[in-house]
Structure 1
Amino acid sequence: MDTTRNIPIDLAAFEQLFRTHHKRLCLLAMNWIGDSDVAEDIVQNFFITLWNNRETLSLKTSFNAYSYKAIKYSCIDYLRREAVQEKRKGLFSSEIEIEEEEEDIADRMKLYAQIIDVVDSLPADRKNVFLLHAVDRLSYAQIAEKLNISINTVKTQLRRAYMYLRDKLHLFLFLLLIIYG
């Protein structure tokens, strides 16, 4: 017993098939996808493919069963494609963030190198006082005791060091404010 069914070949019968099943198939696709426009497109594509293959297609099940499976698998394919695209967007976004972070680190390193160069250009005694104060966080009295100099000498050396740094680094500090401000 042959249970195959052919798709109606004439346009009027096909239009009737479309009108009868279109809404149900759109609701089915909508349940899978959650987007009415995409669901409509999937059902539309199903009927276009059905029309294009009407002369060679023979169904071994009812049209309802065939259309249900076709829409279901089209929806699954769509969801898979969307998942892949989202994954690619996430990877691309992560790559951009990493590149921006690497550029940010490189910019900071250049700036730090320039600051170190300016500090290194200080006279040796002034540089030593400045580093003890700025890096080691020693007080004026501790620096004076450690270097066996007066507190006024420490103050003078620090004032001169900061003035020199301010003159040399004003552009760098301005850039810092722009970049991190």
Structure 2
Amino acid sequence: MLGNNLKINNQPEIEAMFLKHYQEWCLLSYSYIENMSEVEDMVQDVFVKILRRKPKNEILDLKNYISTAVKNNSLKRIKRNRKLEKLENSNVISSPSYEEYLIETETKIKVQKAMEVLPEQSKKVFQLCVLDGEKYQNAADSLGISINTVKFHLKKSFKILRLALRNTYA
């Protein structure tokens, strides 16, 4: 049986520890990652790092040390995978095709033309609340009208725009 204190350059004991507890560490990592091939690679990477590490100091409890390293590497891998997913999703969103760009531009032009039909006060309320994202109270205060009047103008604007754009999104 292996002792608690182990010099880092004691390769035969590290290999024996690897063989004895490999499945246990794979299951530990699997509880985080849930992809067995990725888990096996990650556990093996932990051992490679330990074997390549320069003997600076002793590891007091190798089994616990490796378990913690496996857990931490699993969590790091989850974090990295999430970042990669976000990057992939943002690349898909931020790089529309030329066709999508043309459709979006054409749609914006149609909405702008439809907004020209709106009465002046309704257009101001729509601009503030919908396009600029202002809260009803802020729009009411800046225009000197009540919140109910803001709601009325928004309702009126949406009704007019729905009629003007009914064939746009069919």
TM-score, structure 1 as length reference? 0.50
Quote the offset at 1:94 in angstroms: 0.8
- What runs of 5+ residues in structure 1 fail to find an aligned partner? 110-181
Count of matched residue pairs = 106
Closer, same or farther: CA 54–100 of 1 in aligned 2, 3 Å: same
SS in structure 1 at match of 2:41: helix
RMSD: 2.8
How far off its partner does 1:43 sit?
0.4
* Other-structure match for 1:168: none
- Distance, in Å, in 2 between the alignment partners of 1:76 and 1:36 is 15
Comparing 32-41 and 94-103, the one that deviates more: 94-103
Q: Confirm or deny that 1:59 pairs with 2:47.
A: no
Matches within 5 A, 1:24-173: 24-53=24-53, 55-60=55-60, 62-97=61-96, 100-105=99-104
Q: 1:18 to 1:103 in 2, by over 3 A?
A: same
Give the letter for the 1:18 counterpart: F
d(CA) in 2 for partners of 1:32, 1:102: 40
Task: Summarize the Cα distance change of 1:20–1:8 in structure 2 as closer, same or farther, 3 Å threshold.
Answer: farther
Higher-Rg structure is 1
Q: Contact 1:6/1:54 (CA < 8 Å) preserved in 2?
A: no
How far off its partner does 1:40 sit? Answer: 0.5
Shift of 1:66: 1.2
Counterpart of 2:6 in structure 1 is: 6
TM, length-normalised to structure 2: 0.53
Contact 2:8–2:53 (CA<8 Å) still a contact in 1? no
Residue 104 of structure 1: CA displacement? 2.8
Quote the sequence identity (%): 19
- Report deviation, 1:22: 1.1
- Return structure 1 stretches of 4+ with deviation > 4 angstroms: 105-109
CA deviations on 1:50-100 (whole Å, 9 max, x unpaired) are 10116224224x222211211111011101110000001111111234754
For 1:103, give the aligned amino acid: L
RCO higher in 1 or 2 (8 Å CA, sep ≥ 6)?
2
Residue 40 of structure 2 aligns to which amino acid in structure 1?
E
Q: Distance in 1 between matches of 2:74 and 2:17?
A: 21
Please identify which structure carries the higher helix content. 1
CA distance in 2, matches of 1:66, 1:14: 12
